Structure formats: C-alpha cells, structure tokens
Amino acid sequence: MATRLHDGQPVRVEVEVGQPRFRTDGLIGPFLLLAVTTSLLVLLAMRSALRPLEQLASGADALGAGLEAEPLPQRGPPEVRRAAEVMNGLHRRLREHVRGRVQSLAAISHDLRTPITRLRLRAELLPDPESRISFARDLRELEDMVQGTLDYLRGIGETQPLERVDLDGLLAQAVEDVETPGVVVAAPEPTGQVVRGHAPSLRRALVNLLRNALVHASEPSLLVQAEGGRVQVHVMDRGPGIPASEMARLMQPFEQLDRSRGSASGAGLGLSIANEIAIRHGGPLLISNRAGGGLRVTLALAAA
C-alpha cells in the first residue's frame, strides 16, 4: 500500500497476507483409527450375515452327493432357517421314495434268480447239443442282466465309508477278475499309491470298465497318473471309440451304443454303475476318444 503524508513524504507499506493452513497433525491418528475400526466392524457383520448362507450352500452340496447325507443345520436368519427346513423335508421325502423303489426292484431282480436257475438245470437235459448251448447262452445273458441290475440298485441305495486303499493291490484284483486264457490286460508298474475309497466298489467299477473294453474293443490297458493330491486311473482300449454326441447318453442306465443292430450285449449298466461309483468318490467318469482309435475312461480319486 502506497500513500503520501500531509507534508508530502511518500509512505509505502507492504503487508504479506498468507493463507492459513489447516493443521491435521492431530487428526490423522483418530481418522485412521476410525477407518480401521469401521472396516473391521463391517467385515465382522458381513461374515456373520454370510456364514449361514455358506453353511446352507455346503449342506446343499452334501445333500446332492448322496441320499444318506446329514440334514442341514437350521440356524441363522429366519429366511435361512426356513430354506434349510424345506430342503431337509425334500431330501427326507426323496430318500424314502428312492429307498422304496430300490427295495421293490431289488426284490424283483433277486426273485428272478430262482426261475433262471431252474431253467438252467432244465437246459442241461435238452437232447440237442446246439439248442442246449444256445439256451444256456441266453440264460447266461439274462442272469448277467439281473446281476447288473442288482449291482446298480445296490449302488444307489447304499453309502460306504471311505478308507485307505492300496491302489496297486486294487488294480491287480481287477485285472485278475477279467483276465482269461488268451486275454491279457496291460497293467502299470507298481506305483505305491494309496487312495481314499471303498475298495469293493472301486473294484467293481474297474472290472466293469475293463469288461467293456474287452467286449467292445481290444488291447485293454491301465495307466495311473498322480498330481496335486489326486490320482487318475485311466482304462484304455483300441477300438471304434464312442461318438462325442453319444457319450452323455451312454452314461445313463440301460443305454447301449448300437442296440438296434442286435450287437449289444448285457443290459447297458456297466458304464452307469462305474459312473455312480466314481461320483461317490469325488467326481464323474471322464470319457474321451484316443488318437488313433479307442477310448480312454478316467476315474479320479483322492490320494490318502
């Protein structure tokens, strides 16, 4: 500011005007503490609200894995408790329904064995050798169908605890069950692997897969691969394979690839039984065609 006094002397005044600073030195600590506390409270509230939903989802997965799963816990918000109650009731009714149907069908299949046995004895008395052989072959096929149906229904109705299973011994037993004079299965070298599973069920699945390879293809072989806590057992063959469009259908019971031509044998239950057993051990069978012809069926197991 410049001015002049009464006597004419000039006066110049300079005043520095600075913008006042907002001091936050004392507020940073409380702000940080408030932000951290608020974040922790929000996380705890979210976890408390989402825990019942996570338990409900886990329980629903368990219900889908088998009919003998434990009921869902009915706790949490009212909506979650109501959903768990409805799902438990649905699972209970479904279990009773399936048990009743399985028991009825299993009883019918079991009762068929008696007349089949009588027919087998009468077939031995036929005077014509060709008729006797043909009749015995048909009876054997019928008995295989009945046995396959019993195995399938038994697999649906029962739930077995998983134990430690020596994989090398299991593969050796399965190979021994299917090998006959002139039929050789290429088995892998001993791996020393131990898996979690139900040994009789796994043996049945492997036998079914190997028999499919012997009936519908040739050169059956086994391969074991272990990686990341999982053990994969591959059952392979050399043959026509399966069209990609037919793979899903053939996993269903009583389905066969070429029934119309009369070349199919059995009841079409071997692959579906093996798939049911695989599902109870952690996942469905994986089927793929091999380069150069043939099929690869993979059974995935958890390492013990």
95 and 219 assigned to the same domain: no
pLDDT for position 84: 82
Tell me, yes or no, if the pTM score tops 0.75. Answer: no
298 and 190 assigned to the same domain: yes
- Asked whether residue 16 is assigned to any structural domain, the reply reads no
- The domain that holds 298 is classified in CATH as 3.30.565.10
- Asked whether residue 28 is assigned to any structural domain, the reply reads no
46 and 168 assigned to the same domain: no
93 and 166 assigned to the same domain: no
76 and 202 assigned to the same domain: no
Domain that holds residue 45: 34-102
86 and 212 assigned to the same domain: no
166 and 242 assigned to the same domain: yes
Tens digits of per-residue pLDDT, 75-124?
Answer: 777 877 888 888 888 888 887 877 777 777 777 777 877 888 888 888 88
- Asked whether residue 53 is assigned to any structural domain, the reply reads yes
How many structural domains compose the chain? Answer: 2
Tens digits of per-residue pLDDT, 218-260?
Answer: 899 999 999 888 999 999 999 888 888 888 888 877 777 654 3
Compute, in degrees rounded to 10, the torsion defined by CA atoms 113, 114, 117, 119. Answer: -110
Rounded to 5°, angle at Cα 218 from 212 and 220: 70
Compute, in degrees rounded to 10, the torsion defined by CA atoms 127, 132, 134, 138. Answer: 140
- Asked whether residue 61 is assigned to any structural domain, the reply reads yes
pLDDT for position 207: 92
85 and 198 assigned to the same domain: no
Task: Round to whole Å and give the CA distance between 272 and 297.
Answer: 12
266 and 194 assigned to the same domain: yes
149-174 burial, b at 16+ Cβ within 10 Å, e below that, comes to: bbbbbebbbeeeebeebbbbebbebb
Say yes or no to pLDDT of 18 above 70: no
Task: Round to whole Å and give the CA distance between 3 and 11.
Answer: 5
Q: What's the burial of 250, exposed, middle or buried (CB within 10 Å: 0-12/13-18/19+)?
A: middle
93 and 211 assigned to the same domain: no
- Asked whether residue 8 is assigned to any structural domain, the reply reads no
Question: If we measure between CA atoms, which residue out of 161, 187, 183 comes closest to residue 174?
Answer: 187
- Asked whether residue 138 is assigned to any structural domain, the reply reads no
- Asked whether residue 153 is assigned to any structural domain, the reply reads no
Question: If we measure between CA atoms, which residue out of 231, 153, 154, 136 comes closest to residue 192?
Answer: 231
Say yes or no to pLDDT of 33 above 90: no
